[in-house]
Amino acid sequence: MVKLPGLRPQLVPLVYLFVIVVEGVGFNISAVTVQGLGFKCATAGTCKGLVGYRPLNATTLKEISSLFGLDPYTGLLSTTPPSQTVSAQHTIKVPITCQCQDGIGHSDNKYTVKPGDTLDYIATSVFARLVDPKSIAAVSGSNDLSKTSPGQVLSIPLPCSCDRVDGSQVTHYALVVKKNDTLRSIADEYHVTMAQLENLNNVSSNAPIVAGQVLDVPLPLPSQDANSTITNGTSPT
């Protein structure tokens, strides 16, 4: 078993996750053109987004909150303590603060490098393929994907968007495609249209999507209340 940095293996699956979006996060991200960096976004300013985090190993709500810079003690129901465990390979909807800049939307999460970390490991294992190594390198000012230093603070540009879809406000959800997923199965599960998925992600229903690909899924309101700072839910794989 590969152990994520700072994440302790646990055994019991989490049924619901309630976490609060951190407001007022500052951004200072220069325009960088990198394949896979963020989602399309033409709306200026910041908004709330969601990412589907699927840990490789069992962990806890507190540890996930720490990884994503969230306060585990704020916005939690009494029935969901920070020590609540999350089973491996279960997708947790985690809120992020998104900024759109130069046509691209992504967060400015931070991660402190631990001994033995590489950018590939951080992207693939720690953040479960929500971001790619080249994107981390681009926003962190690194030219060498193989070199990191313990204690170094990296920017993690999680993909997001603030754009309306078909004239309606939505919550853009970054979903990592699983084996056997199809555009149709994703559209049906999240109650969105095939056309929306195709347009947002520049994909075609005639071309298969691949495991590990990150898709922009526009969750319709009011299933994700835009006026609420609290999100919930887990999606078993």
Per-residue pLDDT at 71: 74
Q: pLDDT, tens digit, for every residue of 28-61?
A: 333 333 445 789 999 988 999 999 999 999 999 8
Per-residue pLDDT at 99: 93
The mean pLDDT of 71-91, rounded to a whole number, is: 69
Q: pLDDT, tens digit, for every residue of 100-143?
A: 989 999 999 999 999 999 999 999 999 999 999 999 999 988 77
Per-residue pLDDT at 208: 87
Q: pLDDT, tens digit, for every residue of 157-182?
A: 999 999 999 999 999 999 999 999 99
Per-residue pLDDT at 222: 66
Better pLDDT: 101 or 226: 101
Per-residue pLDDT at 160: 97
- Identify the weakest region by mean pLDDT among 38-42, 94-98, 220-224: 220-224
Per-residue pLDDT at 120: 94
Complete domains list, the chain, with CATH: 7-25+38-107+161-237 (no CATH), 112-157 (3.10.350.10)
Q: Are strands 153-156 and 109-112 parallel, antiparallel or unpaired?
A: antiparallel
Better pLDDT: 21 or 208: 208
Q: Residue 34 corresponds to which tokens in the numbers above?
A: 């990198």
Q: What is the mean pLDDT of the chain?
A: 79
Please state the pTM of the whole predicted model: 0.77
- Nearest Cα to 139, choosing from 111, 171, 162, 163? 111
Per-residue pLDDT at 36: 58
Per-residue pLDDT at 62: 86
Calculate the CA dihedral of residues 211, 114, 2, 14 and round it to 10 degrees: -70
Residues paired with 60 in a beta bridge: 85
Q: Residue 154 pLDDT > 70, yes or no?
A: yes
Whether residue 222 has a cis bond before it, omega within 30° of 0: yes
Per-residue pLDDT at 147: 80
- The number of C-alpha atoms within 13 Å of 34 and in the hemisphere containing its C-beta is 23
Q: Residue 193 pLDDT > 80, yes or no?
A: yes
